């Protein structure tokens, strides 16, 4: 009876010590999120304790990292005083899996506790050794009943996390890898664009004019002052001067000329890096301007999915920018983010969670996802758009609402277009290859025709020699090409020659007439003997031959060594053709195959090729 009474007191003590506030539920991740707090005390405070209770045995280790930034908007709505939190996750059996922290200043990016920290915290664990069986209840059972009154005091509110620490088995604690939820560097590019440093982005804005107020705080005006800056003075009210010397936060500005004439006034809003913004000023860094001088602010960069989120504020006629409405841009080359509904929702909600913190007054947005900032935004080329949808807040709950049925998904149209372009490119490649085959086929047909002619001409050596021979001509009336050689010109040369040996400037030609051969430009080497030479011929301006005529100089482009005297072997049409076309490996069969590849259905004329 005493043991039952003691157990009842213990149960009351446990109930009084801790309570849960169900903060959120994610069907996609299959997890409930609870805010743990002391019984009788509010769950909301500057520092929260969250438990991610997964309904699976082995949940995705990266799920907490995905969920926490999205919860930022919910926390901002339900607990605006929260600036940091501790979290831990459990599986369906209640076993503790991982723990860490997050802060509002980092966009609620999850930070994972290092493995060494839990190991050290587990050192005092032997104290509750008498009740090791139920892992989740062991720490509570170890707490004696007399401690129950302490729960009523506000100070124990953050204590539930340390109480639960001894129940964490060390091997399970180290399961998820640390890089999964750590905040990586946002230094990545999208289509060559990288998030700039605000000062560099502002320095490129040549349309801005700088003035300083009565305290020396600087402002960047988007209106053109007709008078020099030396003749104007600025007066501000309520602004805060940032560490960079430029106005920040809500305030007013008047710009007066030295004679008292008001040139510019701004009374409804505040300032970002000295830029006038109407409405509630979002606390976001400047990322630049588009071609219409609309202001781009950096909302968030998510390296895991390679997305830069930008908030574009339209420029007003009075030179300020409108923070009451805007355009949300997701700059990414990660197409898969917009392929299925769950991924689309996650991509949008990452941005809206950050908006809840940085620009809670915004209630209507047009969301665009683009692959290239220059082409997609500045030039408006929709081939670089991925997605488009309207976002709006519900009036009472202030939660963001959107309907995927009313969205415009450009991804699938883009991929259809790319597939068609690829198909057309493949057809063009095939056409070009066929044109090349036909070109080679026509060349092969011409070579086969030439081969047939050579076979016929081998029966008439005089005609064959005329085909081979090309040299300077001379006519008593017209002069011929030899006259041009006398003036320093050159002529095509093709002759059967006999090389007697080396001489000054090359090889001595003994037949058909005295000349000197330069074979440096020929792939074949010269030697003593009979050759068929092709190249250029010109006259030496100084040396004379034995007939007291200008010595002929031959520059060979090709040499064909003959096997017989006077190149009698050139009467073989195959040898002659190979030299004629410059292909020593040419065959009749190969030429016919080239023709067949160009026109498979065409029958090759046989002729007398055999």
On whether both 100 and 215 belong to a single domain, the answer is: no
Question: Does residue 218 surpass a pLDDT of 60?
Answer: yes
Please, which pLDDT band fits residue 390 given cuts at 50, 70 and 90?
A: very high
Coil, strand or helix at 380 = coil
On whether both 114 and 209 belong to a single domain, the answer is: no
The Cβ of residue 580 has, within 10 Å, a number of other Cβ atoms equal to 20
More confident residue, 178 or 578: 578
Question: Does residue 15 surpass a pLDDT of 80?
Answer: no
On whether both 92 and 47 belong to a single domain, the answer is: yes
On whether both 207 and 294 belong to a single domain, the answer is: yes
User: Encoding tokens for residue 382?
Assistant: 């929709």
CATH label of the domain that carries residue 552: 2.40.50
Question: Does residue 161 surpass a pLDDT of 70?
Answer: no
Give residue-wise pLDDT tens across range 396-421. 888 999 999 999 999 999 999 999 99
- Is 261 within the bounds of a domain? yes
On whether both 224 and 282 belong to a single domain, the answer is: yes
Q: Which of 425-429, 458-462, 579-583 has the highest mean pLDDT?
A: 425-429
Question: Does residue 10 surpass a pLDDT of 60?
Answer: no
- Is 139 within the bounds of a domain? yes
On whether both 173 and 195 belong to a single domain, the answer is: no
Give residue-wise pLDDT tens across range 356-384. 888 888 889 999 999 999 999 999 999 99
Work out the average pLDDT over 508-523: 90
- Helix (H) / strand (E) element for 412: namely helix 411-457
Give residue-wise pLDDT tens across range 200-213. 999 999 999 999 99
On whether both 144 and 15 belong to a single domain, the answer is: yes
Burial class (CB in 10 A: 0-12, 13-18, 19+), 395: exposed
248-262 b/e (C-beta count within 10 Å ≥ 16 → b): bebbbbbbbeeeeee
On whether both 167 and 244 belong to a single domain, the answer is: no
User: Could you tell me whether strands 84-90 and 47-54 are parallel, antiparallel, or unpaired per DSSP bridges?
Assistant: parallel
List phi, psi (to 5°) of 84. -155, 165
On whether both 392 and 471 belong to a single domain, the answer is: no
Residues 188, 307: Cα–Cα separation, whole Å: 9
- Is 451 within the bounds of a domain? no
Residues 142, 147: Cα–Cα separation, whole Å: 11
Domains identified in the chain, total number: 3
Q: Residue 102's beta-bridge partner residues?
A: 85
Question: Does residue 609 surpass a pLDDT of 70?
Answer: no
Q: Under 8 Å CB-to-CB from 217, ≥6 apart: which residues?
A: 236, 239, 241, 245, 246, 247
Give residue-wise pLDDT tens across range 241-265. 988 899 999 999 999 988 888 899 9
CA 246 to chain centre: 34
Which of 409, 443, 472 is the C-terminal boundary of a domain?
409
Question: Does residue 150 surpass a pLDDT of 70?
Answer: no
Coil, strand or helix at 434 = helix
User: Encoding tokens for residue 591?
Assistant: 């030429």
Q: Under 8 Å CB-to-CB from 393, ≥6 apart: which residues?
A: 362, 363, 364, 399, 400, 401
User: Could you tell me whether strands 96-103 and 385-393 are parallel, antiparallel, or unpaired per DSSP bridges?
Assistant: unpaired
On whether both 101 and 234 belong to a single domain, the answer is: no
List phi, psi (to 5°) of 214. -65, -20
Residues 587, 583: Cα–Cα separation, whole Å: 9
Residues 37, 54: Cα–Cα separation, whole Å: 19
On whether both 131 and 236 belong to a single domain, the answer is: no
- Is 438 within the bounds of a domain? no
Domain extent for 108: 2-180
Please, which pLDDT band fits residue 226 given cuts at 50, 70 and 90?
A: confident
> CA-based angle 39:147:16, to the nearest 5?
20
- Is 582 within the bounds of a domain? no
Question: Full-prediction pTM beyond 0.95?
Answer: no
On whether both 253 and 381 belong to a single domain, the answer is: yes
Q: Under 8 Å CB-to-CB from 236, ≥6 apart: which residues?
A: 213, 214, 215, 217, 219, 247, 251, 252, 253, 254
- Is 323 within the bounds of a domain? yes
User: Encoding tokens for residue 525?
Assistant: 């080497």
Give residue-wise pLDDT tens across range 26-37. 888 899 999 998
């Amino acid at each position: 009876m005493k043991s039952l009474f003691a157990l009842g007191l213990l149960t009351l003590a446990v109930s009084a010590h801790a309570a849960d506030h169900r903060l959120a539920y994610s069907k996609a991740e299959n997890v409930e999120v609870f805010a743990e707090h002391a019984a009788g005390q509010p769950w909301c405070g500057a520092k929260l304790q969250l438990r991610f209770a997964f309904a699976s045995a082995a949940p995705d280790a990266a799920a907490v990292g995905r969920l926490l930034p999205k919860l930022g908007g919910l926390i901002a709505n339900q607990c605006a005083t929260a600036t940091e939190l501790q979290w831990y996750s459990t599986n369906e059996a209640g076993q503790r899996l991982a723990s860490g922290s997050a802060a509002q200043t980092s966009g609620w990016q999850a930070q994972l506790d290092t493995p060494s920290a839990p190991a050290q915290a587990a050192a005092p664990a032997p104290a509750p050794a008498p009740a090791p069986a139920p892992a989740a209840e062991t720490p509570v059972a170890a707490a004696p009943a007399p401690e129950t009154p302490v729960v009523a005091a506000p100070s124990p509110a953050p204590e539930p996390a340390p109480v639960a620490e001894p129940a964490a088995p060390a091997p399970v604690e180290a399961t998820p890898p640390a890089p999964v939820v750590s905040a990586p560097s946002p230094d990545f590019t999208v289509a060559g664009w990288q998030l700039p440093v605000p000062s560099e982005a502002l320095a490129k804005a040549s349309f801005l004019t700088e003035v300083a107020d009565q305290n020396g705080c600087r402002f960047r005006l988007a209106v053109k002052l007709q008078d020099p800056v030396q003749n104007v003075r600025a007066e501000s009210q309520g602004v805060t001067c940032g560490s960079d010397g430029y106005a920040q936060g809500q305030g007013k500005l008047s710009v007066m000329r030295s004679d008292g004439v008001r040139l510019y006034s701004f009374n409804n809003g505040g300032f970002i890096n000295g830029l006038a913004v109407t409405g509630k000023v979002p606390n976001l860094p400047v990322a630049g301007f588009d071609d219409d001088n609309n202001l781009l602010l950096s909302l968030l960069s998510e390296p895991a999915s390679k997305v830069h989120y930008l908030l574009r504020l339209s420029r007003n006629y009075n030179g300020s920018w409108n923070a009451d409405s805007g355009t949300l841009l997701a700059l990414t080359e990660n197409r898969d983010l917009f392929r299925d509904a769950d991924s689309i929702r996650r991509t949008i909600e990452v941005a809206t969670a950050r908006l809840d913190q940085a620009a809670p007054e915004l209630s209507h947005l047009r969301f665009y996802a683009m692959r290239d900032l220059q082409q997609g935004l500045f030039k408006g080329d929709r081939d670089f758009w991925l997605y488009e949808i309207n976002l709006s807040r519900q009036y009472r709950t202030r939660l963001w609402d959107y309907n995927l049925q009313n969205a415009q998904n450009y991804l699938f149209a883009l991929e259809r277009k790319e597939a068609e372009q690829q198909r057309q490119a493949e057809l063009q490649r095939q056409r070009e290859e066929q044109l090349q085959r036909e070109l080679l086929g026509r060349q092969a047909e011409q070579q086969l025709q030439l081969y047939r002619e050579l076979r016929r001409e081998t029966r008439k050596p005089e005609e064959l020699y005329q085909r081979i021979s090309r040299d300077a001509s001379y006519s008593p009336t017209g002069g011929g090409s030899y006259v041009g050689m006398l003036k320093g010109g050159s002529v095509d040369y093709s002759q059967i020659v006999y090389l007697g040996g080396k001489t000054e400037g090359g090889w001595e030609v003994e037949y058909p007439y005295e000349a000197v051969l330069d074979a440096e430009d020929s792939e074949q080497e010269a030697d003593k003997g009979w050759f068929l030479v092709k190249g250029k011929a010109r006259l030496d301006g100084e040396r004379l031959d034995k007939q007291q005529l200008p010595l002929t100089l031959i520059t060979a482009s090709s040499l064909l060594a003959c096997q017989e005297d006077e190149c009698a072997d050139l009467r073989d049409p195959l040898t002659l053709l190979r030299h004629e076309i410059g292909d020593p490996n040419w065959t009749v069969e190969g030429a016919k195959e080239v023709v067949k590849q160009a026109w498979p259905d065409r029958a090759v004329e046989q002729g007398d090729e055999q």
